[in-house]
Amino acid sequence: MAFQSVKLFALELDGPEDTVYGSGEMVTGVVILELNREIKVRALRVLGRGVAAAHWPENRSVVGVNTIYNDHTSKITYFRKRQHLIRGGFLKMNGNSPYISS
């Protein structure tokens, strides 16, 4: 199985670790793939998604009346991007240095 061959798979974004991105900003970085042995790769793609979610309960009491409970939830998807790094054909990979198969 190919996953047993993967020693390290990481996505390192450029900039400080605590960077917060806003709408319209470009997110850049590198994908690191280190292997235990040689494998053939048909495709490699990265899926990125930017999501914000919030949830808060609200309780109101009126004297002599039952407590009113409101439960608020909101979720916004800012982006969903799929990027093919390797597509079509075969690529032999050994360690962390890819080379094209003949």
Domains of the chain with CATH codes:
2-100 (2.60.40.640)
Q: Which of 11, 41, 40 is nearest to 27 (CA)?
A: 11
| Per-residue confidence (pLDDT) for residue 94, from 0 to 100 | 67
- Token readout for 72 is 């608020």
The pLDDT of 10-25, averaged and rounded, is 86
Q: In which residue are the tokens 């982006």 written?
A: 79
- Averaged confidence pLDDT in the chain: 81
- pLDDT tens sequence across 40-68: 878 888 888 888 899 999 888 777 677 78
Q: Which of 21, 81, 28, 79 is nearest to 50 (CA)?
A: 79
CA dihedral 52, 57, 58, 59 (to 10 degrees): 180
- Token readout for 36 is 């235990």
What pTM was estimated for this model as a whole? 0.57
